């Protein structure tokens, strides 16, 4: 577990994430032909999938580290992450609604987006509830 203490893995992940976000911003803001070429779009997709996989690996790595340290610490951290996820989704939904109202669009959110938001809320809430129960009743499970 000491590999991440050197922070090289996180630094590489942060650099790739930064490059991916900047490339995505360039594609959205620049109308030049080079920004929308097939090579740049492929690079954007490759960086997205690499950073997504590294994010999942880092998350699982930290969860295993917390579990090995203490089961109660793992459930507390999972509860905090799920609470943060829920708050982040609420803020994003509010921001999207405010932008739609500011633009004057009649369409708020379609059924596909509603289902996605509901599934994220359901998954985050379920994980938060299980983590809260396990954190509060950690002696009963052993």
pTM flag (> 0.85): no
Find the distance separating the first CA and the last CA of the chain, reported in whole Å.
25
**18-73 pLDDT, tens digit each:** 888 888 888 888 888 888 888 888 988 898 888 888 888 888 888 888 888 888 88
Tokens at residue 12, please?
């590489």
**What is the rounded distance in angstroms from the CA atom of residue 67 to the CA atom of residue 22?**
35
Q: Which pLDDT belongs to residue 109?
A: 66
Residue 106 pLDDT greater than 80, yes or no: no
What values do phi and psi take at 122, rounded to 5?
A: -65, -45
């Amino acid at each position: 577990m000491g590999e991440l203490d050197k922070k090289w893995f996180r630094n590489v992940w942060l650099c790739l994430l930064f490059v991916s976000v900047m490339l995505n911003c360039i594609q959205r803001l620049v109308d030049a032909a080079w920004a929308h070429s097939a090579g740049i779009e492929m690079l954007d997709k490759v960086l997205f999938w690499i950073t997504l996989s590294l994010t999942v690996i880092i998350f699982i790595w930290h969860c295993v580290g917390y579990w090995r340290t203490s089961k109660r610490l793992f459930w507390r951290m999972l509860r905090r992450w799920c609470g943060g996820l829920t708050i982040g989704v609420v803020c994003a939904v509010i921001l999207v609604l405010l932008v739609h109202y500011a633009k004057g669009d009649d369409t708020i959110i379609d059924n596909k987006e509603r289902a996605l938001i509901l599934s994220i809320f359901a998954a985050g809430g379920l994980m938060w509830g299980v983590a809260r129960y396990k954190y509060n009743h950690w002696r009963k499970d052993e």
